Amino acid sequence: MNFRTGEMNDGTAVMAQDELGLEGGLATLERDALRESSATPETPATATKATRKAAQPAEAKAVDMQADDKGSADLVSAAAAIMASATSDAAKAQPIDSKSVNPRRFTIVTDAARDAKLTIFGKDTLDDRYLLPGETYQDLFARVADAYADDQDHAQRLYDYISKLWFMPATPVLSNGGTGRGLPISCYLNSVEDSLEGIVKTWNENVWLASRGGGIGTYWGNVRGIGENVGLNGKTSGIIPFVRVMDSLTLAISQGSLRRGSAACYLDISHPEIEEFLEIRKSSGDFNRKALNLHHGVLLTDEFMEAVRDGAEFALRSPKDKSVRGKVDARSLFQKLVEVRLATGEPYIVFSDTVNRMMPKHHRDLGLKVSTSNLCSEITLPTGIDHLGNDRTAVCCLSSLNLETWDEWQGDKHFVEDVLRFLDNVLQDFIDRAPDEMARAKYSAARERSVGMGVMGFHSFLQKKGIAFESAMAKAWNLKMFRHIAAKADEASLLLAQERGPCPDAADMGVMQRFSCKMAIAPTASISIICGGTSACIEPIPANIYTHKTLSGSFVVKNPYLEKLLREKSKDSTNVWNSILERGGSVQHLEFLSADEKAVYKTSFEIDQRWLLEFSADRTPYIDQAQSLNLYIPADVDKWDLLMLHFQAWEKGIKSLYYLRSKSVQRAGFAGGVEADNTAEARRIELDVKQTDYEECLACQ
C-alpha cells in the first residue's frame, strides 16, 4: 500500500536492466570525486562539466556453483553467474520510467528568491545530479516535500525547511523522491550465515541492493576461518575467497553506470583470519586473496580492549564452536590495526560491546544484536536471524539538520517532529515499493522503523559565533544542541506511535515508540555542499581555502566567515589568500589576526583530536545509533599519541570510528583500486605518511 496515494504497488515488477546499473539509470546517484588539488584564489567558483563515458556491460558467463572448495578462481567466476541471473530476472520485470514524476498532491507556494541561499557550487551539484528535466531548484525541494508530507500544511512547512536550508534529505531522497525511479534509501546492512547457501544468498541480495543505489555493509564473522572442518572430511577455505567474490560483484553491478557499487565487509577482531583480513586492501601479496575494491571494518570487543590495556594475550576463536584457533599479543594486533588505518584510512572501527549496551532497551530485551555497520560506520542496527527466526537486513533512512541555521529553527515547535514525520513516510515508501528480492530489508524496516536523523554545520555554527572549536563554549553548545534534538525526537516518536501505532519491535515489549532508533550522524559531504557549503557532519573544516574536485568540475572554496573577517580588516587580498593556500588552508601565520581569531579558524589537522573525542563522547548518550567520526592526523604525529587516541575512543564510550585522515584536505576519491599503500611490513608503525585517497559512499551524504 502506497502511503501517498492509497494505491497498491506491484513489488515484483520494479527492476529494469538500467536499474541494475548496466545502462546508467543511477546517474543521479553518482559518487562525488572529491580530492585535493592545487588552486589559485582568483579561480572563479565555476566548473567545466566532467566528461562522462558509459562503460559497456561486460558479458556475464554462467558457471555451476559447487559445494566443494575449488579455490578462489572458481569462486570469483561464480560472481558472473549471479550477475547473469539477476540481470535476466530484471529484464523480465516491468521497467520503471526514470522520467516519470508522481502527480503533486498539494499546492506548495515556492519562493525563487531562496535560490540566493545556494552557492554556485551547490547549484551546479544540483544541476548535475538531482534536478529532473525542466525542474528548478525550488521545484526540486517542493517535489520532495510533496512526496513525503502528511498534508497540505506539512508539505508547505517541509518545503520551507528545505529551501531555507534548515535540513536536507539524503541524496537518494533528493534524487528519487516523488518520481517513479529508484528508492529513497541510502544503504543496507546484512549478515552472512555459515553455509554455502547462506553465502550465495547474501551475494544475490547484495546484487539487488547495490543495483538500487544503496551502499552495503556485510558482516562475515559467522563464517568459519581457513582450515576448519566442514562436512566429513573437508576443510574450509576461509572467508577471504568469498569476500573476493563480493568484491567482483561490487564492480560488476556498476559497469556501465557513472556510480560504482559500494560495499564494506566487517569482521570480529577475534576471527581466526583477522590479520589477513586487515590487509585485504593492500596490493602486495597474493592477488587471489585480495579485495581491492571493498571497504572493511573491524568489530572490537571490551575483552580485546582490556587485553590491550593489560598487555595480555588474546584468543582467536572459531565462529562455529568458539574453540581457540590461536593466540596473539593484543597490543601487537591493536598496533597493526592502527598501522593499517594510518596507511589507508581503514579499516573502520566499531566498538561492538559499547554499541550493544546502548542499543534500544526493547531490542536488547528481544535478544537482538548489532553485528555490523554500514559504509560510513554511523548505522548500528540488528542484522541476521532475529527472535522470530527471520533474517534481517537493516535499512538506512537518512536526513540531516543544519546546525549552522540553529538560531532560525531551534525555537520552532514543529521542526524536529516534522522531519521525523517526513522520514517515517520515506521509510514507508521504501517498504511499499521495494521489490521482493529485497524482502529481508523490507521486513527489517517494517519491524523496527529505524531512521537516522543527523546533523551538519557544527563547525560553521561555531565560526559564525566566533567560538573556537577547542573551547568550553563549544563543548557547552554541543551538549545543548544534542540534548534539545534528542528530546524533541523522543517526543515525536511517542506522538507518532500514538497516531500511527508503535513499531512492531517496540509493541512486542509494550513500548510506545514509532521508531526503534531515531538518530545517526552521517557524513553529509554532498548535502552540506547543497546547504550553502556548510561544514560537513560534526567535523571541523579541513581548510580555509581549497579546491573541491567533483564530477561537476573544480571549485575553489573559501571560508565565508574568514572572508568576511578579512574584508573587515581590509585584508581580503589575493596575496593573503595565496599565503593561506600555500600553508594548506591555515591562517596561523597571519600576524594581523589575534590569538582568539586564529583559534576560531583552526583547521581539522590543527585541532587537538582529543576535542573531537570529547565532543563525540558528550553527544553519544543522545544518539541511539552512532556517528561518522573521522580523526585527522598530521604527518609528525607521535606513535603513542596515535595509539592512545584510538584507545581513548573506547574508554570514552564512543561507538565507532570512521576514517583516519592523514593529510590537510581529504575528500572521497572516484577512481577505483586500493588506496596508496605505505604500510611497513614490520609490526611497528612507521610514520612517514604519504598522501592517501579515501573512497566514500556518498549515498549517506
Spot the catalytic one: 19, 273, 346, 378: 378
Contacts of 101 (CB under 8 A, 6+ apart): 132, 143, 178, 179, 180
* Residue 19 is a catalytic residue: no
Inter-CA distances, 590 with 394, 556, 575, 587, Å: 49, 21, 11, 6
222 is catalytic: no
Which residue in 491, 356, 475 sits closest to 419, CA to CA? Answer: 491
C-alpha to C-alpha distance for 189 and 117, rounded to whole angstroms: 35
Ranges assigned E (strand) in 633-683: 656-657, 660-661
Measured CA to CA, the distance from residue 205 to residue 441 in angstroms comes to 10
At 350, list the grid cell.
566499531
Q: Identify the bridge partners of residue 297 per DSSP, sorted by sequence position.
A: 266, 348
Residue in 376, 396, 517, 700 annotated catalytic: 376
Length of the chain: 701
Task: Convert 432-497 into a string of H (helix), E (strand) and C (coil).
Answer: HHCCHHHHHHHHHHHHHCCCEEEEECHHHHHHHHCCCCCCHHHHHHHHHHHHHHHHHHHHHHHHHH
Who's near 661: CB < 8 A, 6+ residues apart?
345, 604, 605, 630, 631, 632, 633, 694
Q: Is 42 a catalytic residue?
A: no
How far is residue 493 from each of residues 168, 425, 509, 621, 652, measured CA to CA in Å?
20, 13, 16, 17, 28
C-alpha distances in Å from residue 70, one per residue of 77, 220, 238, 464: 11, 20, 12, 61
3-state secondary structure at position 329: strand
By DSSP bridging, strand 553-558 and strand 545-550 are: antiparallel
Give dist(CA 329, CA 183) in Å, integer.
Answer: 46
Catalytic residue among 206, 374, 425, 478: 374
Cβ–Cβ under 8 Å, residues 673 and 364: no
Could you give the CA distance from residue 556 to residue 581 in angstroms, rounded to a whole number? 11
- Letter for the amino acid at 589? H
Residues annotated as catalytic (active site), given as ranges: 374, 376, 378
